[in-house]
Structure formats: structure tokens, C-alpha cells
Copies of this chain bind each other. A is one copy, B any other.
Amino acid sequence: MTEANIEIDGLTPSQMAQQADVSIDTLHYYEREGLLQAISRNASGHRRYSATDVAWVKVLRCLRETGMTMEQLRTYCQLGEQGDHTQPERLDLLLCHRSKVVQKIEAMQQSLALVDYKINFYRDALSKKDKQ
């Protein structure tokens, strides 16, 4: 396939994997787990991903990397499929996630402070040694 008709045909699995920065296996896994809906197929049954799919997988990765579990992600997807009337629940889910992310960032920053403290300790110790 040439690059010319990507917009019409969609991305091949390997192109998609590259664009979304995940492995093909992970894409299959997400599909199995209900995180990706109705990926279109070409005549020979091979997947063809759309630009929307790319964007969605990036969102999924973003949520995953900030600690959202597969379970929660599945819930979020299912709510999306049920239509606009689930928006309040989706908002709740995101607010809940948001607060966890904020907590994590704060925890990381605290830990960073300890790491910095230790770094300074070693720097001091080493600079004193140098002087001797």
C-alpha cells in the first residue's frame, strides 16, 4: 500500500503502532479488553485504523500512564458507548482520576525532595573530601 490512500483506507496495524507509540500486540490487547471499539477491516480481514483511533489510543495511553487501571478504562469506554447521557458519570470518573494524579504528583515531588537532600549530602561529603 502506498502512503497516498491512508486517509481513505486507514492505517495498517504497523503504521498505527508507530503513530500511537504502542506495540501491535498492545493494540490487539486493548481491543480484546474492550478499550477499542469496532476497528474496521479491509477485504482480507486486516485491521485498518483511522485518525480517530490514533487519537483515542493516545488518550488511553495517557490515562494508563497516569495510573488508571484497565478496569476503569473499560468502564470509561463503555460509558462512552452508551451515549451522551453518561457524560455526568464520565465527568465523575475523570474528576476522581484527576485527584489521584494530583496526589501522585505531590508524592513524587516529596520524594524528589528527599532525593535532593541525599544528593546534597553526597555532594557535601565529596567536596569536603576533595579539600583534604
Contact = CB atoms under 8 A, between A and B. Distances in A.
A28 interface: no
A78 to B, nearest CB: 16
Contacts of A123: 91
Given A119-B94, A122-B90, A112 B108 contact: no
Copies assembled: 2
Contact of A66 (B108, B119, B125, B126): B108
Interface in A98-124: 98, 101-102, 104-105, 107-112, 114-116, 118-119, 122-123
A17 interface: no
Contact-size category for A: 20 to 34
Nearest to A97: B115
A88 interface: yes
Interface in A61-105: 62-63, 65-66, 84, 87-88, 90-91, 94-95, 97-98, 101-102, 104-105
